[in-house]
Amino acid sequence: MTTVAHPAATASATRPLDEARTQLAHAVDRLGLDEGLHRMMAQPRREMTVLVPLRRDDGTPTVVTGHRVQHNFWRGPTKGGLRFSPHVDLDEVRALAMWMTWKCALVNLPYGGAKGGVRIDPRSFSPAELERVTRRYTAEILPIIGPEVDIPAPDVGTDEQTMAWMMDTYSVSRGHTVPGVVTGKPIALGGSQGRAEATSRGVAHLALLALESRGIRADAATAAVQGFGKVGRDAARFLAEAGVRVVAVSDADGAVADEAGIDIGRLAAHVDRTGTVAGFAEASAIPASEVVLADVDLLVPAAIEGVITADNAASVRARVIVEGANGPTTTAADAILAARDVLVVPDILANAGGVIVSYFEWVQGNTALWWSKGEVEQRLTRLLEEAWEDVRAYSARTGTTLREAAMCRAVARVAEAQRLRGLYP
């Protein structure tokens, strides 16, 4: 099994924080906002770096590094995922926190953005070690999280079990159960119906709208999906259920392709057994780098940042890209894709389904009133479609790409909140 290189290790690597700041600078320019406001939005309001001591299963003590970054509080408490990955660094967490601010504003949630990261490879830790890391990291960042302060959720390398441990650790410290401190919890602990697949549901829903806007019918469309984790796997499933032929899929360990369409259910069963898409006998193995360049109508990057760059954007053959991942396309690649009339549905819109249903989970937890799956899905679809229409209308009116339009709508809302609140003292 070969492991796919992380983009940060390749020559064309750009730093996500530079990308995030460039996108903000363009929006500030377009909106004519002043430099002071720009400076306040270009950096996080609060960040905490912690050393997390850990006892490995063999008794050896070690220490790992964790971060929590809160980018902006103007619209409400901060919200954002927790990532366990060997590639985590503070600047990456800062970029991801900033993107969360824009995402929450774009879909009108009463939150600012945050993100957390712990620099470990979760695959080389036992479940008991992961529990100890999670609980100790939570204990270290305890002073700056809470249901009215900052609310973590799952991201790369973490899941609902991680959230259950965080919720329990926080609750023990408070002396009572506090379900609203995290979202993405198991349903048995106050998780929301529909949360687990919300990001993927949103990605697939917007992908179908984007294809339709280009005159491509779902049942005549082909797709490639990069990443087969919490986002990519169900996005591929929902697309296949809508009639799209998913012809290429990759993960960190390999990639498979089948022109006739991959049976996503059977691929998922293979991944449950083996931990990777590699070795799936019902499709051919292909180099992982080819998934982004596949000859398809729709490309869904749903893994990590910086995978569509100036180096490969001219060779991308998809007509529509829907960003399941955060920050998969660099600014230089965006320009190349726009010049080639490739429609890019940006991350802050495309993958907002997860934070939308996280918000629903937080509302349900705080009010102790539970909604049905149908109610959750209906509300999710409404918020996403409103944002899609809003961004499309702004883009058409101003001649901007969907990313530029989404950034302008989001940054304008955050700036408006600041104007109304004023500066204290």
How far is the CA of 269 from the CAs of 228, 281, 359, in angstroms?
12, 12, 31
* CB 292 within 8 Å of CB 300: no
CA distance 170 to 13: 37
Residue-wise over 58-70: b if at least 16 C-beta within 10 A, else e? Answer: eeeeeebbbbbbb
Q: Does 342 bind ligand NAD (CB under 6 A)?
A: no
DSSP state of 313: G
What's the min distance (Å) between Cβ of 205 and ligand NAD?
Answer: 14
Please tell me the total number of residues recorded for the chain in this structure.
425
Coil vs helix vs strand at 329: strand
Which of 4, 27, 88, 320 binds ligand NAD (CB under 6 A)? It is 4
Q: Does 226 bind ligand NAD (CB under 6 A)?
A: yes
Coil vs helix vs strand at 311: coil
Contacting residues for 40 by C-beta, under 8 A, at least 6 apart: 418
Q: Does 107 bind ligand NAD (CB under 6 A)?
A: no
Which residue is catalytic, options 79, 115, 185, 230? Answer: 115
Q: Does 251 bind ligand NAD (CB under 6 A)?
A: yes
Contacting residues for 155 by C-beta, under 8 A, at least 6 apart: 80, 81, 82, 83, 96, 115
Which of 302, 343, 406, 410 binds ligand NAD (CB under 6 A)? It is 302
CA distance 332 to 182: 35
84-103 residues in contact with ligand NAD (CB under 6 A) are: none
Stretch in the footprint of ligand NAD (CB under 6 A) among 16-24, 152-160, 387-395, 416-424: 152-160
Joined together, the tokens standing for residue 359 give: 């918000």
What's the min distance (Å) between Cβ of 227 and ligand NAD?
Answer: 3
Element (H, E) at 58: none
344-373 residues in contact with ligand NAD (CB under 6 A) are: 351, 354
- CB-wise, 38 or 199, nearer to ligand NAD? 199
CA distance 12 to 306: 9
- CB-wise, 207 or 415, nearer to ligand NAD? 207
Stretch in the footprint of ligand NAD (CB under 6 A) among 59-67, 150-158, 397-405, 416-424: 150-158
Reply yes or no on whether 115 is catalytic: yes
Stretch in the footprint of ligand NAD (CB under 6 A) among 44-52, 126-134, 244-252, 360-368: 244-252
Which sequence positions are flagged as catalytic? Answer: 115
Catalog residues that contact ligand NAD under the rule CB under 6 A: 4, 6, 154-157, 199, 226-232, 250-252, 288, 302-304, 324-326, 351, 354
